[in-house]
Amino acid sequence: MCYFMFVETNSSINEDVILRNEKSSLYVQNLSNIVKTKYDKLYHISNGHCACDIVVSPHRLTENVLDIIKNIDGEFKFIIIDSNKEDVEPLLEENNDFDMFLSKFKSEEISLDEFIKKYPKEIQFDVLYKIKR
């Protein structure tokens, strides 16, 4: 099993924020050119592989993930997917229409402040969080 952390948004994540977090080995990859989404941007957040290390050891890079989340403008979607795939590419190849794939998951609307309070201990896998500002 592997975990994959995604953010779907209409805004770009600031390059300074991405570079600042790369110093701690948290990587943000724009996958918008690989899959179809209703939003302009789809980002994969990882340690360079799947997000297992970030998700299973929730205190590792927690502040880095929150730094990314806090610096996304507007509303966005966040999900941690528990998958039998071992890397993100096969998961995306199998689910090229990412919105159709996401529609299979339970969804929950939540404010940014609520999400920040819940992350990481109370965030569930395979739940699409629709984060409102």
Question: Domain locations in the chain?
Answer: 2-132
The residue count for the chain: 133
60-76 per-position pLDDT tens digit? 789 999 999 999 999 99
79-101 per-position pLDDT tens digit? 999 998 888 888 888 888 899 99
Spatial distance between the Cα atoms of 92 and 34, rounded to a whole number of angstroms: 8
Q: Say whether pLDDT at 58 is over 70.
A: no
Output the six-digit token pair for 124: 């569930």
Output the six-digit token pair for 73: 């403008």
